[in-house]
Amino acid sequence: MSARHIVLNELPEQAETKVDPPTTNSPKSSPKPNTETTSSSKHQDIDCGLASLQLSAGILQIAEPPLDHVRSQLRELIGRQNKIYIDLSKEKYKLDCSEVAKLNDMMNDVRRYKDKLIKIKKEMQSIYQRTKDLKKRAANVAACKQRDYQRKLDRQHHEESLIGGQ
């Protein structure tokens, strides 16, 4: 508290110090340094430097404890964020691993179903070929039966004509 009081007291003292206006040298006169102005300027610089140091020290005393508290809270927050980030990364890795396992299972299923499909396709081609052969054979059998039936009828007609001609 006393530092704050000192800093606040320093401000009015600084305002009380008078600044001498710079003297302008006429072009006819030779420039001579005014010793009174130079020593007063040096004294003001020292007073301003001391005042600025005391002012900055007071501001630091006022602002530093809350800043330290905020820094510690930020460190804690960053630590928590890092922990959450690491946990999320682990979960993502687990999900990625499970997704990779699911993908491998799906690829194995695709391979197995493809093999089944190829096997079914071959069976269907085999069945198609057999039915085609069976239809041909059935057509041949039907044609043979038709010929046999026609021969039988022809023989029967021939026999009847022989029996009827007697």
Q: Tens digit of pLDDT per residue, the chain (166 long)?
A: 444 444 444 444 433 444 444 444 444 444 454 555 566 677 777 878 888 888 888 888 888 888 899 999 999 999 999 999 999 998 888 878 888 888 899 999 999 999 999 999 999 999 999 999 999 999 999 999 999 999 999 998 988 888 876 6
Contacts 24+ apart (CB under 8 A), 43-47: 44/17, 44/19, 47/14, 47/17
Listed residue (18, 54, 49) closest to 36, CA to CA: 18
54 token code pair: 């005391």
Helix ranges, the chain (H): 2-16, 35-164
Q: pTM surpassing 0.85?
A: no
Amino acid at 132: K
Q: CB of 44 within 8 A of CB of 102? A: no
Rounded to 5°, the CA angle 52-55-58 comes to 150
Rounded to 5°, the CA angle 48-50-55 comes to 90
Listed residue (21, 25, 51) closest to 36, CA to CA: 21
Amino acid at 118: I
Q: What is the distance between the alpha carbons of residues 54 and 52, in angstroms, rounded to a whole number?
A: 5
Q: What is the distance between the alpha carbons of residues 18 and 148, in angstroms, rounded to a whole number?
A: 147
Listed residue (113, 134, 8, 135) closest to 59, CA to CA: 8
Sign of CA dihedral 51, 54, 56, 58: negative
142 token code pair: 């039907």
